[in-house]
């Protein structure tokens, strides 16, 4: 594997973790950072001074702030920026991407305005110069960077590309499965973050296990409803990108989306959360984009809509809970039948 080269665009927590993962396999990995401080810290001390400074990056990882240098010669380009920065970064690296080089999105969200999934954004910007794929699952960067056993799914429309990328990322501590449901995997990644914010709000209010389990289960139901309507495979929602990532994001101390919900329920704001953590909680944006996607297609997502109302419309968390609990009762599997009538 030593002859392979990877470009990881984005030196945040997830980008750093993936660079550690690939570098540990001996893959020559260039980690692109916006900040000179981060790039210099990695180059001089083998550590990212902002994210996981206790983790030593392998010698096979180098850093740069030059996008052309980062992408040139790469066999695989990995985009690890927040979802709303994907278009901008794709426009910057597109001129230097060699024909046929796969691009793998790690971002979890829908683009504001267009409501495009991330592979749709990448395809629109970079054209038909090579395959697109997405990687998603219960993968907290803090744990992946330390080599704690984790699993994930790589979704590509071309099964052969999926297998190639599976083997590219696979390590003894990072097990990778393939899936050809790109739509479902990407929608899972966007929508589960909103449910995690709801779970955090429940924690912040002081509710218990019953409430969180109910939110997670009904959240998965509404995730599946939207995915089914948009052509996703409903079984994807039972897998790593769906249920697996939902469990991790709603319950973990590492989850920034869960933490955002808890912070807001305690009287904080999205701005104060960012000032405190310097991290983007994708669920805050997805509460809007996923809700808008649902409205566009006439799909009912009550939890998503209430999270949006709390974050952006000043609705009290307890009032949002009351709105959910007093809705007209329906069949549990409403809108989730797997076979069309």
Tell me, yes or no, if 192 is annotated catalytic.
yes
pLDDT at 337: 59
pLDDT at 229: 95
pTM of this structure: 0.93
- Token match 């709000």: residue? 201
For Cα atoms 322, 323, 329, give the angle at the middle one, nearest 5 degrees: 105
Percent of the chain scoring above 90 in pLDDT: 89
pLDDT at 129: 77
Positive or negative: CA dihedral 51, 103, 91, 4: positive
pLDDT at 1: 41
pLDDT for 300-339, tens place per residue?
999 999 999 999 999 999 999 999 999 998 888 877 654 3
Q: What is the DSSP code string of 307-323?
A: HHHHHHS---HHHHHHH
**DSSP label of 177:** E
Positive or negative: CA dihedral 206, 208, 212, 217: negative
CATH of 5-180, one of 3.40.980.10, 3.40.50.720, 3.40.50.1400, 3.30.390.30: 3.40.50.720
pLDDT at 275: 84
**In sequence order, what are the beta bridge partners of 150?**
174
Express the helix, strand and coil content of the chain in percent, nearest 5 each: 55, 10, 35
Active-site residue, from 108, 192, 212, 276: 192
Q: Which residues of the chain have pLDDT under 50?
A: 1-2, 338-341
CATH C-level class of 183-325: mainly alpha
Query: Helices H, strands E: what count in the chain?
Result: 15, 8
Number of neighbours of residue 135 by Cβ within 10 angstroms:
24
CATH 3.40.50.720 maps onto the chain at: 5-180
Mapped onto helix, strand or coil, the DSSP state of residue 176 is strand
CATH 1.10.1040.10 maps onto the chain at: 183-325
């Amino acid at each position: 594997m030593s002859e392979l080269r990877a470009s990881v665009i984005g030196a945040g927590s997830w980008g750093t973790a993936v660079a550690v993962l690939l570098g540990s396999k001996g893959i020559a990995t260039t980690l692109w950072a916006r900040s000179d401080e981060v790039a210099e810290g990695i180059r001089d001390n083998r550590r990212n001074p902002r994210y996981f400074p206790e983790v030593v990056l392998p010698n096979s990882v180098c850093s740069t702030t030059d996008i052309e240098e980062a992408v040139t010669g790469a066999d695989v380009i990995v985009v690890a920026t927040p979802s709303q920065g994907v278009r901008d970064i794709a426009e910057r690296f597109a001129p230097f991407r060699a024909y046929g080089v796969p691009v793998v999105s790690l971002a979890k969200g829908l683009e504001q305005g267009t409501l495009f999934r991330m592979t749709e954004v990448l395809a629109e910007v970079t054209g038909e110069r090579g395959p697109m794929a997405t990687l998603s699952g219960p993968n907290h960067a803090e744990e992946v960077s330390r080599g704690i056993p984790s699993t994930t799914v790589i979704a590509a429309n071309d099964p052969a590309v999926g297998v190639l990328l599976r083997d590219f990322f696979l390590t003894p501590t990072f097990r990778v499965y393939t899936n050809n449901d790109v739509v479902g995997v990407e929608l899972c990644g966007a929508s589960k973050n909103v449910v995690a914010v709801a779970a955090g709000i429940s924690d912040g209010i002081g509710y218990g296990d019953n409430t969180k389990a109910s939110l997670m289960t009904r959240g998965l139901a509404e995730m599946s409803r939207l995915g089914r309507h948009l052509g996703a495979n409903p079984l994807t929602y039972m897998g790593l990108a769906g249920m697996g990532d939902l469990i991790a994001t709603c319950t973990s101390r590492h989850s920034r989306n869960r933490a955002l919900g808890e912070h807001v329920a305690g009287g904080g704001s999205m701005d104060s959360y960012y000032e405190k953590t310097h991290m983007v909680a994708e669920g805050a944006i997805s509460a809007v984009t996923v809700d808008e996607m649902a409205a566009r297609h006439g799909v009912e997502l009550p939890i998503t809509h209430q999270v949006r109302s709390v974050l952006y419309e000043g609705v009290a968390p307890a009032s949002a809970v009351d709105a959910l609990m007093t809705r007209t009762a329906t069949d549990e599997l409403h809108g989730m039948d797997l076979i069309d009538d």
